[in-house]
């Protein structure tokens, strides 16, 4: 009887030890996973902003993070539409001026300007070419046109100003898309925001080639 009790007690003790060891290993594993947790998009953006603004502060040591809010995102599609509207507007303006010059040539030859006509024809040709190239790039991008070109964040923090008072500050911050989320622009007012940051893939190279 005593031997059976000792045997049962020994088995229970071993089970408790195994269970304890298992819980310990699991806990250590979870702790290790948490300590190596990848930074979120918010973490990366906050770090990038802080690295940019803290060295420029009156008192960097007084800095206190308050809030970071994703306010807006711009897609490549948005930038494509923006550029199309811009060049279509320019094309329409130049065509109107050309028509006016043609009318002057027939009705008021004295104010007809052949140099301006030559310049307008060149600008019209360039704008048409650019619009055609934008259509081509849009087609080549396919579904990628729906990818993010840039983000806009509202960033708030407290810091001591030049008068020694701790104030709440707010900036609008435009960043690249993931993964780098680098800073494009930091503005104090919406009027200072870039309208179409990062354009769309292939645009800058196309413009440079067209200008040659």
Does residue 9 surpass a pLDDT of 80?
Answer: no
Residue 45, C-beta contacts closer than 8 angstroms, at least 6 positions apart = 68, 151, 153, 173, 175, 181
pLDDT, tens only, 90-134: 999 999 999 999 999 999 999 999 999 999 999 999 999 999 999
Residue 187 and residue 177: Cα distance in Å, rounded? 18
| Averaged pLDDT of the chain | 87
Q: Which single residue is written with the structure tokens 């902003």?
A: 49
Residue 102 and residue 36: Cα distance in Å, rounded? 71
Shared domain check, 69 and 149: yes
Shared domain check, 134 and 103: yes
CB 74 within 8 A of CB 149: yes
Q: Is 52 within a domain? A: yes
Q: Is 22 within a domain? A: no
Residue 176 and residue 178: Cα distance in Å, rounded? 7
Residue ending a domain, choose from 92, 109, 142: 142
Q: Domain range for residue 51?
A: 41-75+144-211
Residue ending a domain, choose from 101, 122, 142: 142
Share of the chain above pLDDT 90, in %: 79
- Give me the mean pLDDT over the 164-191 stretch: 96
> How many structural domains are present in the chain?
2
Shared domain check, 67 and 112: no
Shared domain check, 179 and 90: no
Name the pLDDT band for 35 (thresholds 50, 70, 90): low
Residue 19 and residue 17: Cα distance in Å, rounded? 5
User: Residue 102, SS3?
Assistant: helix
Does residue 12 surpass a pLDDT of 50?
Answer: no
pTM: 0.76
CB 151 within 8 A of CB 183: no
Shared domain check, 150 and 94: no
Q: Is 34 within a domain? A: no
Shared domain check, 138 and 89: yes
Residue 133, C-beta contacts closer than 8 angstroms, at least 6 positions apart = 206, 210
Share of the chain above pLDDT 70, in %: 83
Joined together, the tokens standing for residue 161 give 């100003």
Shared domain check, 169 and 156: yes
Which range, of 4-13, 35-44, 122-131, 135-144, averages the lowest pLDDT? 4-13
Classify residue 57 by burial, with Cβ atoms within 10 Å: 0-12, 13-18, 19+.
middle
Q: Is 149 within a domain? A: yes
Q: Is 97 within a domain? A: yes
Q: Is 89 within a domain? A: yes
Does residue 76 surpass a pLDDT of 90?
Answer: yes
Name the pLDDT band for 211 (thresholds 50, 70, 90): confident
Residue ending a domain, choose from 142, 166, 189: 142
């Amino acid at each position: 009887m005593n031997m059976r009790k000792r045997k049962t007690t020994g088995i229970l003790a071993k089970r408790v030890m195994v269970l304890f060891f298992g819980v310990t290993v699991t806990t250590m594993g979870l702790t290790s996973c948490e300590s190596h947790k990848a930074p979120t998009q918010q973490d990366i953006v906050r770090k990038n902003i802080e690295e940019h603004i803290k060295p420029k502060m009156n008192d960097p040591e007084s800095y206190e993070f308050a809030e970071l809010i994703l306010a807006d995102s711009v897609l490549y599609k948005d930038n494509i539409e923006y550029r199309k509207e811009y060049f279509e507007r320019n094309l329409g303006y130049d065509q109107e001026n050309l028509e006016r010059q043609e009318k002057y040539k027939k009705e008021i030859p004295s104010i007809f300007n052949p140099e301006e006509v030559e310049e307008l024809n060149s600008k019209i040709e360039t704008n048409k070419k650019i619009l055609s190239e934008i259509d081509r790039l849009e087609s080549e991008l396919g579904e990628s046109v729906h990818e993010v070109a840039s983000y806009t964040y509202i960033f708030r923090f407290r810091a001591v100003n030049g008068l020694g008072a701790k104030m709440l500050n707010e900036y609008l911050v435009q960043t690249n898309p993931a993964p780098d989320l680098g800073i494009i622009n930091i503005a104090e007012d919406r009027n200072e925001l870039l309208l179409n940051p990062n354009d769309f893939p292939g645009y800058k190279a196309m413009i440079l080639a067209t200008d040659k």
